[in-house]
Amino acid sequence: MIFFEKHGVDQKELFRFFPLKNYNFPLHFHRAYELIYINDGHLSVSVDQKEYLLQKNDLAFIFTNQMHEFKTVEYSDITIILFSPELIGDFYMNFKGFIPNDNVLHLERELNLKNACSIYEQKSFLYAVCADLINQKQFIPVKQSHKIRVLYKILLYIEQNYSVNCTLKAIAKYLQYDYSYISKLFVKLMNMTFTDYLNNYRISQACYLLKNFHQPIGEVAINCGYDSLRTFHRNFRKIMGQSPGTFLKETQKKV
């Protein structure tokens, strides 16, 4: 399953970092660059179907729109850094249309973001990592098939319209493709139907809203594209293995 994340879409100078322990995240992509740094433990990272096993002081440098996912191997303590291409404009323009042949660096120094408060400190840190990447890796042109480009457009449409009546027929009309073609293409590339993906995406967004904004469950259902609260509860339980109310209570306990 692939998620489109809107990090870096608005083209503002985004710089975010946060720690995660024993975390897994499914296949996704976004416009922002992403760094995954291993403070301790082991993490399995997949980038464009290439597998890496990261350990302490390793860093994965994920480029714009690269498909990636990560899974904890027994134990992991990691730091995620998301930043917009505009923050390292020179690097972005010089390497636009290219990706590294190997996305993983091993840092001799420990990651220290305590001083990354100003935009100048952030850029200094990021350009130092870019320099390491340029010195250690080769770059190859991005090869993206027509089918993958179509899939990107479908996923982007879902991200922008999941909160309303989002259908594959509407997407086919919007993209000016035959409905049957994109339906078969979606199943082939995603290993699931459009409806299953849309429900998974909506429920993932519902979890985010419940966890971070504490909105009423009925309001969350509407904001995630469900006009039936009963359907929302059924899909939430099917995907998450528990009701929205139980999920909300467990989330509040952890705060």
Per-residue pLDDT tens over the stretch 32-54: 899 999 999 999 999 988 999 99
Q: What residue spans in the chain does CATH classification 2.60.120.810 cover?
A: 2-141
Mean pLDDT for the chain overall: 88
pLDDT at 88 exceeding the cut of 50: yes
Tell how strand 33-47 and strand 68-83 pair up.
antiparallel
Give CA–CA dist 68/46, Å, rounded: 5
pLDDT at 142 exceeding the cut of 90: no
| Element housing 77 (H / E) | strand 68-83
Per-residue pLDDT tens over the stretch 20-36: 999 888 778 888 899 99
Give the pLDDT of residue 5: 54
Give CA–CA dist 248/211, Å, rounded: 7
Is 146-254 in CATH node 1.10.3720.10? no
> Phi and psi of 242, rounded to 5°?
-160, 165
End-to-end CA distance of the chain: 29
pLDDT at 145 exceeding the cut of 90: no
- Report the CATH fold assignment for 2-141: Jelly Rolls (2.60.120)
Reported confidence tier of residue 12, pLDDT bands at 50, 70, 90: low
Give the pLDDT of residue 251: 75
pTM listed for this prediction: 0.69
Give the pLDDT of residue 8: 44
Q: Residue 180 to residues 3, 155, 176, 177, 183: CA-CA distances in angstroms?
A: 22, 17, 12, 9, 5
Give the pLDDT of residue 254: 59
Taking each helix axis as running N to C, give the angle between helix 194-212 and helix 146-161, from 0 to 180 degrees, rounded to the nearest 10: 50
251 versus 175: the higher-pLDDT residue is 175
Per-residue pLDDT tens over the stretch 167-220: 999 999 999 999 999 999 999 888 789 999 899 889 988 988 888 787 899 999
pLDDT at 144 exceeding the cut of 50: yes
Give the pLDDT of residue 218: 94
The owner of tokens 């993932």 is 204
pLDDT at 100 exceeding the cut of 90: yes
Give CA–CA dist 226/232, Å, rounded: 6
Query: Which residue from 69, 61, 57 is spatially nearest to 33, judged by alpha carbons?
Result: 61
Q: What residue spans in the chain does CATH classification 1.10.10.60 cover?
A: 146-254
